Amino acid sequence: MDEDDSPFDIDIALGDNCDEVDQSLLREAIVQTLTIKSLPEARIDVAVVSDDDIATINEQYLQHTGPTDVISFDLSDESDQTVDGQLVISVDTARREASARGHGVASEVALYAVHGTLHLMGYDDQDDTSSAEMHAVEDRVLTSLGVGPVYRSGSGSPDTSANIRSEKK
């Protein structure tokens, strides 16, 4: 689908030292995730930032200390069927986790984009059942993108733990 014809408005802002981030893969990860549901439209703003920047946001909005991998802010009107939100992704965390998982930074950032977008779409990972469902969807999307699954088959657990957070504004 041509970007101009897409019902999805996705804006990506890269901070400093984001050379490994593949904006096309990042955008396509979000689009593929959004197509899971028949959404009439969506608007997602993405900021790829440093650990220092995401730690500040994490403390300010979620009252959690330290960096995390992705924070999603749901800006949707509850009466609307569209997705409207913001994703903040840490490229520094992506570098560490990608190294530990044995794949590239661009793939790890794609995982964070899929995960954060699923939160914006109403998915939850607060218990084992919903977490396993969410991780299965993530793996399907990542496999369709050629990245491949990140979670161990059937376990619902990542090869290393992720600290993915979501916040409704």
Model confidence pLDDT, tens digit, residues 12-44: 999 999 999 999 999 999 999 999 887 888 999
| Residue 99 neighbours by CB distance under 10 Å | 13
Alpha helices in the chain (DSSP H): 23-34, 51-62, 91-101, 105-120, 128-144
> What's phi and psi for 92, nearest 5 deg?
-70, -45
What is the tally of structural domains in the chain? Answer: 1
The distance in angstroms from the start CA to the end CA of the chain is 31
CATH number of the domain within which 81 lies = 3.40.390.30
CA dihedral 61→136→40→122, nearest 10 degrees, is: -40
Does 160 map to a domain? no
pLDDT of residue 151: 66
> What's phi and psi for 139, nearest 5 deg?
-65, -35
Does 115 map to a domain? yes
pLDDT of residue 3: 53
Least confident of 27-31, 106-110, 123-127: 123-127
Does 59 map to a domain? yes
Range of the domain at 129: 3-153
Does 165 map to a domain? no
Does 158 map to a domain? no
Does 111 map to a domain? yes
Are 69 and 162 in contact, with CB atoms under 8 Å apart? yes
Sheet hosting strand 70-74, strand order edge to edge: 8-14, 42-49, 83-90, 70-74, 165-168
Does 92 map to a domain? yes
Between 103 and 49, the more confident residue is: 49
pLDDT for 144 beyond 70: yes
Does 36 map to a domain? yes
